[in-house]
Structure 1
Amino acid sequence: MQTMRGPGKQFEKGQTGNPAGRPKGARNRATLALEQLLDGEGEQITRKAIELAKDGDGAALRLCMDRLLPARKDRTVSFELPPIETTADLPRATSALLQAVAAGDLTPAEASDIGKAVDAHVRAIEAADLHQRLLRIEANQQ
């Protein structure tokens, strides 16, 4: 049963507007048609693209390189981050991040990503500390 709400008549969270829609894993008809057209031709087409690339065709060269060496989204970063066990450890960690950026060991974007992870870790420490403090207060009131 569909439950609509509000002026936009949106469905309840987790409910699809088309329960009889395409099942998970079903393939697109256009994709299936293209695969049938290329069936058995893949190796020949790949060889032709390589030949064109070798002959200097820029588009073919780009296609081949994109397949051989796709652009990396991220890289593994080797970075010595001081341990963060309490919020008091945070200044040492952020200082290490800033020094690594200044030295060129990390890009500003990498430091930002690591900083986000550090921030999440610090929030987890704060939440655990708060929980322990509340437990102690409750225990003292009894």
Structure 2
Amino acid sequence: MSETTKAENLRPGWKPGQSGNPKGRPPGSRNRVTLVALAAMEEGAAAIAKKIVEMAKQGDMSAARLVLERLVPPAKERPIFLDLPDTSSADGVAQAQAAILQAVAAGDILPGEAATLTGIVEARRKAVETQELEARISALEVKK
């Protein structure tokens, strides 16, 4: 018997290399095992949460940490209120950088926040520098 005949006997009506489900699994569909696991977790979720809160109240620090992490997720960013001088000149940019440094030293802002602010001020410095260079080049071209 040839290979083609064997394959046809194993899957009647299908040709070798042809899928039995040409459309495939629908996008976003979940595996049956996953669905069963999720259903089991949903049934016991309230009891588990209650037990963890009980343990946290009794002083279990890992349970307390788990409860707090779920109730109050860590803040990624916060608004910063910092008076910065006008940054339309190189002198203003230098003063703004000094103000950011002083705010970090005083503990008003975190070093990571200062790095972000410094990056913004640096981008402003580059824009001012580009404007000044463009004005100088234009002035030189007019003189020619």
- Measured against the shorter chain, the TM-score band is 0.5 to 0.7
Deviation at 1:61, TM superposition (A): 1.2
**Structure 2 counterparts to residues 18-29 of structure 1, below 5 A:** 26=28, 29=31
In structure 2, relative to structure 1, the CA distance for the partners of 1:32 and 1:127 (3 Å cut) is: farther
The alpha-carbon deviation at position 81 of structure 1 amounts to: 1.0
Identify unmatched segments of 5+ residues in structure 1. Answer: 1-22
Separation of aligned partners in 2, 1:31 and 1:138: 71
Aligned to 1:68: 71
Which one has a bigger Cα radius of gyration? 2
- TM-score w.r.t. the length of structure 2 is 0.61
Name the residue aligned to 2:130: 127
- Deviation sequence 1:34-71 (CA, Å, 0-9, x none): 42331333222212211221122222111001111222
Equivalent residue, structure 1, for 2:62: 59
SS class of match (2:63): helix
Inter-partner Cα distance in structure 1 for 2:63 and 2:30: 26
The alignment's C-alpha RMSD in Å is 3.4
Residue identity over aligned pairs, in percent, reads 33
Q: Which amino acid aligns with 1:65?
A: L
Structure 2 unpaired stretches of 5+: 1-25
Higher helix share: 2
TM-score (norm 1): 0.62
CA-to-partner distance for each residue in 1:95-131, whole Å, 9 max, x for gaps? 2122223333233333222111111122223334444
Is structure 2 residue 142 aligned with structure 1 residue 140?
yes
- Residue 137 of structure 1 and its aligned partner are, at CA, apart by 6.0
Separation (CA, whole Å) in 1 of partners of 2:141 and 2:55: 77
**CA distance 1:63–1:88, shift in 2 (3 Å):** same
